[in-house]
Amino acid sequence: MLAQEKEAVLLSDDLVFRKQTARLMSVELVWIIPLLNHLKEDKTIEDEIYHDCLIKLIEHQYSFISINEHTLLHCLKCDEYIVTNKFKDLTKMLSGTVSTTESATHTMFKFFHLLVVLGNLGVEELVGISMIVLSSLSIERNLDEVVDSYETIMEKYNHIPHLYKFLELMLFKFRRLYNF
Nearest to residue 163, comparing CAs of 129, 118, 100?
A: 118
pLDDT at 113: 92
Average pLDDT over residues 15-36: 73
Identify the bridge partners of residue 27 per DSSP, sorted by sequence position: none
Whether 111 contacts 69, CB under 8 Å:
yes
Predicted confidence (pLDDT) per residue in 73-101, tens digit: 999 999 999 999 999 999 988 887 778 88
Identify the bridge partners of residue 11 per DSSP, sorted by sequence position: 30
Average pLDDT over residues 31-52: 90
CA distances to 55, 59, 154 from 11, in Å = 20, 21, 41
pLDDT at 10: 67
Share of the chain above pLDDT 70, in %: 86
Enumerate the domain spans of the chain: 69-177
Predicted confidence (pLDDT) per residue in 98-134, tens digit: 788 888 999 999 999 999 998 889 889 999 999 999 9
CA dist., res. 48 & res. 21, Å (int): 33
Average pLDDT over residues 18-26: 69
DSSP E strand stretches across the chain: 10-11, 29-30
Dihedral-angle region of residue 179 (phi above 0 means left; psi in -120 to 50 means alpha; beta otherwise):
left
